[in-house]
Amino acid sequence: TRRIAVSGAASGIGRSLAALLRTQGDDVVGIDLEDAEVCADLSTASGRSEAVEGVLERTGGALDAVVACAGISAVRPATVAVNFFGVTELLAGLRPALAASRAPRAAFVGSIAGTAATVPEVVDACLAKREAQALDAAAAAAARGEGNRIYPSSKAALARWMRGVCLTGDWAAAGIPLNAVAPGVVLTPMHAAHAMTEDQRKSVDEAVPMPLGGYAEPEVIARALRWLVSAENTHMTGQVMYVDGGAEATLRGPDR
Ligand code: NAI
């Protein structure tokens, strides 16, 4: 039995992952705003500390894996707080609890949106761990009509953060793989919240073309995460694994 902390465990991808892991006999500690073993708000520094302390209390400070799934896709600065700082601070805060595991693993959910146009000031402030500055830059972007770049910025920053830390003594040199799964469109409550007109659907399908299989069920993403944090994954780290129906391959094309 592996003991695994999963954020966003009350809905969508996190909920699906928690169910898959429990079915295979793992001990899951879910983190979410409500309906979870540890209830905490990952949009604030104090909420993140509560989440870390709550997990450590329940587990006696020993974990085998951490998977950060909690995220929001609002056109608001809070998206940066939850998606970037709520992921990186949770992973960093729980990392010491992985030290005693024989197969410690960590992963989070990125997005194909991380390859779209960003707000560079938001990404830079995230990577500099300046949360207030990142939120201000996101607010400024929204004010000039670039609010739809906030979510991509949060996901692009996550991928860059991962590449920056994954080889350090905290992660690879401590034997801990750290990876991301980047979905295309997934049929979760987050997706359903964006009630779409036919035109909006067309523009989503242009931005996220999914020739293989179309929109994914959350279990599809959960299975990839399950493998990334399993003992089987001994040598993959620092990677964004696109489980996106071919969106990334389509957008990149064969020439680069
Ligand atoms: P969801 O809305 O079904 O689930 C997200 C969960 O995160 C919810 O249970 C929510 O309560 C929790 N959460 C949100 N803010 C929180 C906070 N401040 N503190 C604690 N928990 C919080 O969404 P879904 O689709 O399962 O999303 C999971 C991840 O997948 C997110 O990181 C999202 O960006 C990513 N993703 C989703 C895609 C989709 O099409 N649904 C596509 C690409 C990435």
Task: Please write the tens of the pLDDT for every residue from 197-225.
Answer: 999 899 999 999 999 999 999 999 999 99
Q: How confident is the model over 56-100, as pLDDT tens digits?
A: 999 999 999 999 999 999 999 999 999 999 999 999 999 999 999
User: What pTM, to 2 d.p., does this model score?
Assistant: 0.98
State in Å: Cα 78 to ligand 1 middle. 13
How is residue 160 annotated by DSSP? H
What domains does the chain contain, in order, with CATH numbers?
Answer: 3-116+159-244 (3.40.50.720)
State in Å: Cα 185 to ligand 1 middle. 12
Q: Which residue has its alpha carbon closest to ligand 1 atom 41? A: 186
Residue 193 binned pLDDT confidence (cut-offs 50, 70, 90): confident
Q: Ligand 1 within 6 A of 8 CB?
A: yes
ipTM (interface pTM): 0.99
The alpha-helical segments, DSSP class H, found in the chain are: 12-23, 45-59, 78-80, 86-94, 120-127, 131-143, 150-165, 189-193, 198-207, 218-228, 247-252
Measured from the Cα of 113, ligand 1's closest atom is 43
CA–CA separation, 66 and 3 (whole Å): 9
| Catalytic machinery residues | 151
Measured from the Cα of 47, ligand 1's closest atom is 19
Average pLDDT, the chain: 97
Q: What is the model's pLDDT at position 194?
A: 80
* Average pLDDT value for residue range 1-25: 98
CA–CA separation, 65 and 68 (whole Å): 10
Q: Ligand 1 within 6 A of 88 CB?
A: no
Q: What is the model's pLDDT at position 220?
A: 98
Residue 12 binned pLDDT confidence (cut-offs 50, 70, 90): very high
Q: Ligand 1 within 6 A of 245 CB?
A: no
| The two three-digit tokens of residue 20, written as one number | 């898959």
Q: What is the model's pLDDT at position 97?
A: 98
CA–CA separation, 37 and 10 (whole Å): 10
State in Å: Cα 195 to ligand 1 middle. 16
Q: What is the model's pLDDT at position 205?
A: 94
- Is the pLDDT confidence value at 195 over 80? no
